[in-house]
Amino acid sequence: MIEVRAQKQLGEFRLDAAFEAPAGVTALFGRSGAGKTSLANAVAGLLRPEAGRIAVDGTVLFDSARRIDLPVRHRRIGYVFQDARLFPHRTVARNLSYGGRHDAARVIEMLGLGPLLDRYPAALSGGEASRVALGRALMSDPVMLILDEPLSALDAPRKAEILPYLERLRDTVRLPILYVSHSASEVARLATTLVIMEAGRVLRVGPAEEVMADPAAVPLLGVQEAGSLITARVEAYDAEDDLTELALSAGRLLLPGRAGVPGQPLRLRIAAQDVILSLEEPSGLSALTRLPVTVTRVEEGRGPGVAVGLAAGTDRLLARLTRRSARSMGLAPGQQVWAIVKATAVAPQDVGG
Ligand SMILES: Nc1ncnc2c1ncn2[C@@H]1O[C@H](COP(=O)(O)OP(=O)(O)OP(=O)(O)O)[C@@H](O)[C@H]1O
C-alpha cells in the first residue's frame, strides 16, 4: 500500500497531489508537465514537500506534521530513470553488483541478463540497458521500485521486448511499483492502479480496469488512447488459421496469431475506437467477434465524439462513436446492443500476461 500526499511550489508550478494505492503497479499517468516526476521524486526523497505525508507499506518516509523526512538512502527505493544511467566504465556484472544483493542469480535469471554480464554499457541496446538498470534497482534490495518512463527512450520493438520482463516483475517480485508513464498502452499492460494527474493535481485514482473503461475518463486519457482492459482466458490456438481463441465473460474473442498459454489468463486492451456498436445481432460481417452488451453510460465529449460505457458480462468495454451515430441509435443506459470487435484491431503490444 502506498499513501502519498505532497504539496510543493516549484517556480510557477504547484504540486498538490494525493492518492492511496494497494499493492501492485501504480501508474502515474498524465501529459508532459503534469507533475508525475515531481511526485515520484517526493516519494523517493529527491524532492522535499512543504507539507504532506508519504508512507509505503506502513513505513512513514515523510510526514511534515511529525517532522519525519527519511534520507534517500534510508528509504530503500530502487529508482529507474528514463535513461538507464549505467556506469559506462563498468561491465554489466559490476553495474549490477553495485548494490550488492545476495540473490543476484534470481534477478539475473528473471531479467535475462546472463548473456550480457561481461559487456560494457556501450555495447548494449536500449532495451538491454533498461533491463540492466532494472536489475541494478532490484539488487539494492528495495522495499519499492519507482520506474520513471523506463521505456520512453526505446523504439516499439525494444518496448515490446522489455514489457514481458516488467510483467514478470509485477507478478513475481511482490514490491510496490510506482510507474510514471504517458502511454495508455503501457499503463494498460502493467497497471493495477491508475492515478491520472494534470497540472500538479490528481484528477482520478482507481483500479486500472475501472478507470480505463470509464467514459468520463476518456478526455483525461486522450480520445486516441482510450480503451478498456479485459482479462480473458486463453482457450485454444488454431494453427491452421493462426488465431488464438479467448474466453471472455460475455463470449469469445479471436486474436490474430498465437497469444498466451491455453488455460491461462491474458490481459488485453481493446481501444475504444475499435469497438463498433449495432442494435441488431450482426451477421455476414468479416469481424469475428460480436458480444451482447448493455450500455452503462453515454458521455458526450467536447468534440463530435461520444464515449459509451458497456457491460459485457462481468467485463467492461468502451466504445467511441460520433454523436450523430449515438443519437440515431438512441443509445441510453440499460439498452442491450451488440459490440463488434475487429480481431486484428487488438495490437500485439496491447496483449499482456
Ligand atoms: N525545480 C523546479 N523549479 C521550477 N519548476 C519546476 C521545477 N521542477 C519541476 N518544475 C516544473 O514543474 C512541472 C512538472 O514537472 P514534472 O517533471 O514533474 O512533470 P512530468 O509530468 O513528470 O513531465 P514529463 O512527462 O515531461 O517528465 C513542469 O512545468 C516543470 O517545469
Q: Pick the residue whose CA is nearest to atom 29 on ligand 1.
A: 33
Three cell numbers at 150?
523506463
- The region of weakest confidence among 54-58, 95-99, 100-104, 334-338 is 100-104
Ligand 1 centroid vs 343 CA: distance in angstroms? 40
62: CB partners within 8 A, 6+ apart: 6, 42, 45, 48, 49, 52, 53, 54, 68, 69, 70
Residue ranges covered by each domain of the chain: 2-212, 227-352
Mutate to test the pocket of ligand 1, among 38, 41, 187, 195 (most ligand atoms within 8 A of CB): 38
2-212 under CATH 3.50.40.10, yes or no = no
45 lines ligand 1 (CB under 6 A): no
| Structure confidence at residue 309 (pLDDT) | 94
Q: What is the pTM of this model?
A: 0.85
Three cell numbers at 253?
474473442
| 141-162 pLDDT tens trace | 888 999 998 887 777 777 777 8
Q: Pick the residue whose CA is nearest to atom 24 on ligand 1.
A: 32
| Residue 74, number of CB atoms within 10 A of its CB | 11
269 lines ligand 1 (CB under 6 A): no
Ligand 1 centroid vs 18 CA: distance in angstroms? 17
10 lines ligand 1 (CB under 6 A): yes
Burial 253-271 (b: 16+ CB within 10 A, else e): bbbeeebbeeeeebbbbbb
48 lines ligand 1 (CB under 6 A): no
| CATH ID of 227-352, from 2.60.40.1220, 3.90.950.10, 3.40.50.1000, 2.40.50.100 | 2.40.50.100
- The region of weakest confidence among 55-59, 84-88, 165-169, 283-287 is 283-287
Three cell numbers at 315?
467485463
Kindly provide the ipTM of the predicted complex, given to two decimals. 0.92
- Give the Cα separation of 254 and 272 in Å (integer): 17
